[in-house]
Amino acid sequence: MIAARLVRDGPRLSWQERMSELNGSSTTRATATIACVVLLTAVSAWATTVLAIRGPSWIVVASDSMYVSHEDGRSSTICKIHQGKNFYWASEGVYGGAGQSFDLPSLVGRADSVKSHALLDEMSTLDDIIVPALSDYLTLLRKAKPAKYQEILDRKHAATVIFFRVEQGLASYVSDAFYIAESPNREIIISSNDRKLCPGDCPEPISKWEDGEREAVDKYFEQHGMDGTPEDFLKRMVALEISDKPTTVGPPISVLRLDEHGASWPSPGVCQ
C-alpha cells in the first residue's frame, strides 16, 4: 500500500522578527536583501547537513560531505550539491546510487527531463516516482537489514529533496519531504509532506524552512543571528554541525552560489 499526502506549514514569525532586528545592525547590512533561509539536516545513519540562503536574485547552498550507506554501514565522502539539466538539487536521508536498490540521482534525473521546465512540475514528477521506489526499497531493507529499517521507521522521515535555480534574475526553489509509517498489518506507507515553494511559501522579506536536527545551528542563531556574508555564514554553520555531530556529519564543506552570473563555488569541497 502506498499513500501520498501534502501538508503545508506557515512561516515562523519569531524568525522574521529576529532577522528584522539583525538587518538593522552593521554586521548584517550586507545580507539585508536575503529573502529565505532553507535548512536541511539529517540524523542517524545517513548523515547530512545542507543549508541554503535565498535572496530575490541569488541563492547560496552549503553542505557537508559525509555519507553512511544503509546497505553496508560504510562511511565515505560524496558531493551533496548536484547539477541537473534544468536545476541544481540537494537531498538528505535515503540516497543510494547507481547499482543500488534505491538510486535517488537516477530518479531526480527522470524528474529533470519533464517538458514543462517548471520546478513545481518537476518536483511533482519526482513525488510520483520516488514514492513507489522508496516503498520497494524499504520493503527489501526490512527483510535484509531489519535494524536499519527500524532506524528509518523510528525516525519516521525517509528523505527530503530540494530543487533550486536562478532563471531570468529570479532565484527559486521547491522542496518536499517523504515520510514512512506502517499500517496495523505492517504495510509500508510513504507520504510526501512539507512541500515548500519559493517564491510562494516564503513570505517577504524573511522566512525560514527547516527539517531534521539542527541544534548547533539553532543555538548559534538564537545567540548571534546571521552574521557575515551568506557564503561565510553557511560554511561556519555546517562546521558547527560537524563539530556537534562528528560521527554523522563530516568534512569537507561545499558551498555553491547561483546568481545572474551563473554558478560559482566559493568552497568546492568534493563537488569539483
Q: How far apart are CA 35 and CA 204, in angstroms?
A: 6
**59-68, 93-102, 138-147: the lowest-pLDDT one:** 93-102
At what angle are helices 104-111 and 119-144 packed, to 10 degrees?
Answer: 160
In this predicted structure, what is the pLDDT of residue 44? 32
| CATH number attached to the domain at 13-267 | 3.60.20
Burial class (CB in 10 A: 0-12, 13-18, 19+), 5: exposed
Strand partners, 53: 37, 60
- For 187, the 3-state DSSP assignment is coil
Residue 25 has pLDDT above 80, yes or no: no
**pLDDT per residue over 142-197, tens digit each?**
998 898 899 889 988 889 999 999 988 888 899 999 999 999 999 999 988 678 88
Residue 215: is its pLDDT beyond 70?
Answer: yes
Judged against a pLDDT cut of 60, whether residue 52 lies above it is answered with yes
Question: CB of 3 within 8 A of CB of 189?
Answer: yes
**Residue-averaged pLDDT of the chain:** 77
Residue 30: pLDDT over 90? no
Residue 170, number of CB atoms within 10 A of its CB: 12
Local confidence band at 19 (pLDDT 50, 70, 90 cut-offs): very low
- Nearest Cα to 60, choosing from 260, 206, 198, 255? 255
Q: How confident is the model at residue 69 (pLDDT cuts 50, 70, 90)?
A: low
Backbone angles phi, psi at 258, to 5 degrees: -115, 130
Cell numbers placing 192 = 510526501
C-alpha cell read off for 241: 554541525
pTM, two decimal places: 0.80
Strand order in 58-63's β-sheet? 208-211, 36-41, 49-55, 58-63, 254-259, 262-267
Residue 98: pLDDT band by 50, 70, 90 thresholds?
low
Q: Which residues pair with 75 in a beta bridge?
A: 68
Give, as one character, the DSSP assignment of residue 85: S
Q: What is the pLDDT of residue 50?
A: 87
Residue 122: partners with Cβ closer than 8 Å, 6 or more residues away: 86, 87, 111, 112, 114, 116, 163, 174
pLDDT score recorded for residue 99: 58
pLDDT of residue 203: 55
DSSP state of 74: -
Domain ranges within the chain, ordered by starting residue: 13-267
CB 241 within 8 A of CB 220: no
